[in-house]
Amino acid sequence: MTATLFTGIGELVTFDPAHEGDLGLVTDGALLEVDGRVAWTGPASAAPREDADAVEELDGAAVVPGFVDAHTHLVFAGDRSAEFEARMAGRPYTAGGIRSTVAATREASDAALRGRLGGFVAELHAQGTTTFEVKSGYGLTVADEERLLRLAREVTDETTFLGAHVVPPEFADDPDAYVDLVVGPMLDACAPHATWIDVFCETGAFTVEQSRRILTAGASRGLGVRVHASQLGPGAGVQLAVELDAASVDHCTYLTDDDVERLAASATVATLLPGVEFSTRHPYPSARRLRDAGATVAIASDCNPGSSFTSSMPFCIALAVRELGLTPAEALEAATLGGAAALRRDDVGHLRPGARADFAVLAAPSHVHLAYRPGVPLVSRTVRAS
Ligand code: NIG
Ligand code: FE
């Protein structure tokens, strides 16, 4: 057994109702970690020092739960900076660019993909993310999707089979034959390496009927359901996600009033990805509208080479405050507890007794600085239970 007391915490955000307000705040706080779990939090003056083998003094820094990034696409090769540059000059985003990443990824060796993935994981960690999901979706053959998931599984248990990202060029004339492949041999090969199944349910990708078929097939193999929907325009993807009790429906850029009501009445989390609107010039969705209606909101990076090439949850928090209508406290909640809900996890995203002792130490006196000081590397240390 090892026990470490982290003390001298200027502001400790726990989301523990035993402490103050919605954030479960403790000022001048301390946290006792035992074998990778939170054993106790409270005022430093009351800390159980006698139970600790080691004491770490944090000199007034703020501590927040580690960020939970519930939506990334980190296994890929190639570069699409020219596409971004053209978009910033006025060209619209189309999901067509996905196919260029697919071509580069199919060419890449496992070692090259693993090396790049490791670099992204280091970026996530340096920016306070302690739990993250990784999707496949840039292979689109049985062998490539299987290998992307195998590589993803080396870095996280939250792996998502996204064989239905787009229809690959070799099936352009017969998309339903591709769907047959996805629900048949591809699912057989991928299900053992995946926790989740996802579909890009959007005009130009997969129809609602195709999406239902794919998601239902995945669910019948024990995979949890997640959906990409309403990114480029309104559609029936949110309705489908709620119908299938998806853990999360992601993007939600173009929601109807009915979508908002459905989400509010469901256990499906609306995961907003403001890095996408930043990088595609689409309008930002309103997290305020969703929260006010009673829906659970998460924010995630969607880190991918096309629509959102950021791995930074602090950047997404700043966007959520400035552009999605959240307060700094609500944005932090969406980046921690919200992400945990989107992954149906109760052991991360908060620092209540029993939680994983995963947290970010900020070079700042409070969580507000995450949005107040955008672009500044405020995470001075990330602690993650092994
Ligand atoms: O989540 N929407 C579909 N998939 C990704 C974009 C992938 C890409 O452009 O390469 C997304 O935004
Ligand atoms: Fe995505």
Please tell me if the CB atom of residue 14 comes closer than 6 angstroms to any atom of ligand 1: no
Q: Is the predicted pLDDT of residue 94 greater than 90, yes or no? A: no
Average pLDDT, the chain: 98
**Structural contact between residues 357 and 36, judged by C-beta atoms closer than 8 angstroms:** yes
**Structural contact between residues 237 and 208, judged by C-beta atoms closer than 8 angstroms:** yes
The torsion of the CA quartet 370, 284, 262, 196, rounded to 10 degrees, works out to -70
- In this prediction, residue 305 carries a pLDDT of 98
**39-56: b or e for each residue (b if 16 or more CB lie within 10 Å)?**
bbbbebeebeeeebeeeb
Tell me the mean pLDDT in the region 31-58: 98
- In this prediction, residue 96 carries a pLDDT of 85
Q: What is the pLDDT of residues 153-199, one digit of tens each?
A: 999 999 999 999 999 999 999 999 999 999 999 999 999 999 999 99
Q: What is the pLDDT of residues 14-23, one digit of tens each?
A: 999 999 999 9
Instruction: Please tell me the number of the ligand nearest to residue 205's CA.
Output: 1
Tell me the mean pLDDT in the region 285-297: 98
User: How many Å lie between the centroid of ligand 1 and the Cα of residue 382?
Assistant: 28
Q: Measured between alpha carbons, how far is 228 from 237 in angstroms, rounded to an integer?
A: 8
Tell me the mean pLDDT in the region 37-51: 97
Tell me the mean pLDDT in the region 214-223: 98
Q: What is the pLDDT of residues 1-10, one digit of tens each?
A: 899 999 999 9
Tell me the mean pLDDT in the region 120-125: 98
Among 71, 73, 249, the mutation site with the greatest number of ligand 1 atoms within 8 A of its Cβ is 73
* DSSP helix/strand/coil, 304: strand
Q: Is the predicted pLDDT of residue 110 greater than 90, yes or no? A: yes
Handedness of CA 146, 151, 154, 158 (dihedral sign): negative
Tell me the mean pLDDT in the region 116-124: 98
User: How many Å lie between the centroid of ligand 1 and the Cα of residue 379?
Assistant: 27
Rg (alpha carbons) of the chain, rounded to whole number: 21
Q: What is the pLDDT of residues 325-354, one digit of tens each?
A: 999 999 999 999 999 999 999 999 999 999
Tokens of 251: 């993007």
What is the H or E stretch that residue 226 is in? strand 224-229
Please tell me if the CB atom of residue 95 comes closer than 6 angstroms to any atom of ligand 1: yes
| pLDDT band at 386; cut points 50, 70, 90 | confident
Instruction: Give percent of the chain above pLDDT 70.
Output: 100
Q: Measured between alpha carbons, how far is 386 from 383 in angstroms, rounded to an integer?
A: 9
| pLDDT band at 131; cut points 50, 70, 90 | very high
